[in-house]
Amino acid sequence: MNDLQHALGALAPDLSPGATTIVGLRRLSGGASQETWAFETDNGAPLILRRKPPGVTGSGNAVPLATEAALINAAAARGAPVPRVLAICAPGSEVGEAYVMSRVEGETLGKRIARDPPFAEVRKTLARQCGEVLAAIHKVPTEGLPPLAVSSAATELEKYEAVYRQMDARRPIFEAAFRFLKDRAPTLEKPVLVHGDFRNGNLMVHPETGLAAVLDWELAHLGDPAEDLGWLCTSSWRFGGPKPVGGFGDHADLLAGYEAAGGAPIALERVLYWQMLGSLKWGCMCLTMYASYASGADASVERAMIGRRTSETEIDLVALLEAAA
């Protein structure tokens, strides 16, 4: 931490004009593939560092941090609310592979955003705001972006079915969902920049102004625009809130905001398709996390217990299959 303090201190003049060092460095979250730190410059600018822990190689799907930073800048240019990227540090630099961004005020805890009284007012317009912001992200010109993976519904299903088969779990509801979704996979016409993890919990929401910043760009890729809308509606990200969009809003408002901001119209049916794929994907991810317990890689009770969240995705899948029948 002293080394990091020193390395960031040297960057201070670039981060805030007139700053000479940084203060208050503290670790915020302990993600395995990514570190998040908060600090201030000595003249008071509140900042966030996102850094790859030394010695850790990237997780399978995550883009390099420099790519994340470039995508945040590209989204900002289209008017999407994002933190301001202030410095990008290359792998092997004193800070390590990282970038520094402005700290945006607000709340990211999904449960508070979906249910707590201070957010009651902004909840009324939040789904529409999400639609507007997704339209802006999807309009980012894809030429000139750093290299990104391309995925469609069919390739996503292929990927997660391989994960599921490898687990040797016998889950008939997953079998039915794979079959249902494979039979109806939409073709990928014109791939757009997809955020890839646009859901309640990764959105900074201010109790007075609503959506303040879109965070966590590490799963960005090129794909179907409806993927982002469907993931935002996936039941596991409603945090007990009563409404389909992130627990806080309605499908109609999300789609209206998307179109009003110039997004090409998306049929509700296509959003529901990706919502269902989202439940199936999260279910496979729960099994994968449990597998890290079963293999002994992570012996924590949390990794063991998350396997029991697989059934929540199955009950959502059954509700969606019944609705489609």
Of the candidate residues 2, 147, 187, 302, the single one contacting other proteins (CB under 8 A): 302
Contact between 177 and other proteins per CB under 8 A:
yes
Q: Are 127 and 253 in contact (CB under 8 A)?
A: yes
Contact between 235 and other proteins per CB under 8 A:
yes
Distance CA 115, CA 291 (A): 32
* Comparison of 92 and 172: residue with beta carbon closer to other proteins: 172
Q: How far is CA 298 from CA 28, 221, 291, in A?
A: 21, 28, 9
Of the candidate residues 26, 170, 190, 296, the single one contacting other proteins (CB under 8 A): 170
Q: CB pairs under 8 A, 24+ apart, for 28-31?
A: none
Angle made by CA atoms 143, 147, 153, in degrees to the nearest 5: 90
Q: What letter would DSSP give residue 31?
A: -
CA torsion angle 232 235 238 241 (round to 10): 130
Contact between 321 and other proteins per CB under 8 A:
yes
Distance CA 320, CA 325 (A): 9
Q: Binders of other proteins: how many residues, by CB under 8 A?
A: 34
CB of 271 to other proteins, least distance (A): 18
Interface segment toward other proteins; rule CB under 8 A; list 74-82, 101-109, 144-152, 172-180: 172-180
Q: Are 41 and 35 in contact (CB under 8 A)?
A: no
Contact between 316 and other proteins per CB under 8 A:
yes
Distance CA 242, CA 246 (A): 9
CB of 71 to other proteins, least distance (A): 30
Contact characters 184-223, other proteins, x per CB under 8 A: ----------------------------------------
Q: Are 249 and 127 in contact (CB under 8 A)?
A: yes
Contact between 312 and other proteins per CB under 8 A:
yes
* Comparison of 6 and 182: residue with beta carbon closer to other proteins: 182
CB of 93 to other proteins, least distance (A): 29
Q: Which two tokens stand for residue 196?
A: 């890839």
Contact between 243 and other proteins per CB under 8 A:
no
Instruction: Give residues in contact with other proteins (CB under 8 A).
Output: 30, 170-173, 175-180, 183, 235, 238, 240, 242, 300-302, 304-305, 308-309, 311-312, 314-316, 318-319, 321-322, 324-325
